[in-house]
Amino acid sequence: MLITLPEVLTPDEVRQFRQHLDQADWQDGVNTAGSIARNVKQNQQLDDTQEPAISLGNHILRTLSRTPAFISAALPDRIYPPKFNRYAERETYGAHIDGSLMQIPGTNLTLRTDLSATLFLAAPDEYDGGELCIETQYGTQTIKLAAGDMVLYPSTSLHSVSPVTRGARVASFFWIQSMVRDSQQREMLFDLDSSVQKLTTELGASHPEVVNLSGIYHNLLRQWATPS
């Protein structure tokens, strides 16, 4: 399941983010790459143990906690602290799959990467290339969103970032461990919750069918969820 979430950050928030990021000390992204990824990774990243990565990442987490569409789609159990990357001209990230397990910095907790997220922080007209290319059962999906928009996709997906040929692509990226591990179950819950929300708007929360469907949703979630 690939889901785009529009306007996770407002235009004003994006401007504030970019004021910090455009003045930040970017480092060679290969420093954080594994043995395989370092052969295909050419980009820049912030030190996520220092400012401004810490405060900007915390802002993203607070925002997501108030974003119903994200909660519904991800059913988050744990979220890896957001990281930040930048692709300047001729920089790219070849095809790869994200690591399955990650240690959450500063804790003894391990996160299973069920979902990957990219939050775009540069407008599409600021750069050429830099598309996020995700392999799905329906073929390759090419993603290039407005600044402030975010895409969620399965961490099991083979994906890449195409070479930037003009300007710079700036984004935040992170991973989510869901309370519902099975991707098909998670997708069904998301579809069901979306229908419940739509019917609630059309019929009202007290309508018998809305109450019935809401009960089915929560009973399925109760059966499938395995929070840590």
* Binding-site annotation, residues for Fe cation: 96, 98, 159
- Binding site for 2-oxoglutarate: what residues are annotated? 169
**Cα(44)–Cα(124) distance, integer angstroms:** 19
Burial of residue 117 (CB within 10 Å: 0-12, 13-18, 19+) is: buried
N- to C-terminal Cα separation, the chain: 23
What are the Cα distances from residue 24, in Å, to 31, 48, 120, 184, 211? 17, 12, 17, 40, 50
In angstroms, the CA 227 to CA 132 distance is: 30
Whole-number Å distance between alpha carbons of 38 and 220: 41
Annotated binding site: 96, 98, 159, 169
- What is the C-alpha to C-alpha distance for residues 89 and 111, in angstroms, rounded to an integer? 33
